[in-house]
Amino acid sequence: MDREITKLYKLKASVVRKECWSRDCLQGLLTQLEPDCPRATELVDPLKVPSRQMHGCLDCDPCPPGAGFADYLRGMNQQVGDTACREKGYSCKDQKEKTVHE
């Protein structure tokens, strides 16, 4: 789970505007990190804001909080997919090639 803590530090470094901390996607990522990495709680808790203070997109391009959350979810989906492949006896590469050819 050190990967999640590393991602949190990278996210903290990537946030360029104070308003980003109350962005709904950044807060969503923080909320998702709690069950995925309980050790990150002491880092996450001070960054959380009440839901009534959250807001949507600020139209930044790129959006570091949005990109961070998307990357995190992609990584989680990849882990789940890799586990499912192994449980079926495929290497992940074999399963991806099979899916492409079906």
Q: What is the pLDDT of residue 88?
A: 66
Q: Is residue 36 within 8 Å of 1, Cβ to Cβ?
A: yes
53/64: higher pLDDT = 53
What's the predicted TM-score (pTM) here?
0.67
User: Please, what is the Cα angle at 55 between 67 and 69, to 5 degrees?
Assistant: 20
Q: What is the pLDDT of residue 55?
A: 92
Q: How far apart are CA 93 and CA 91, in angstroms?
A: 5
Q: For the chain, what are the domain ranges?
A: 2-101
Q: What is the pLDDT of residue 51?
A: 92
Residue in the block written with tokens 């990109």: 67
Q: Which of 9-13, 64-68, 80-84 has the lowest mean pLDDT?
A: 80-84
pLDDT band (50, 70, 90) for residue 91: low
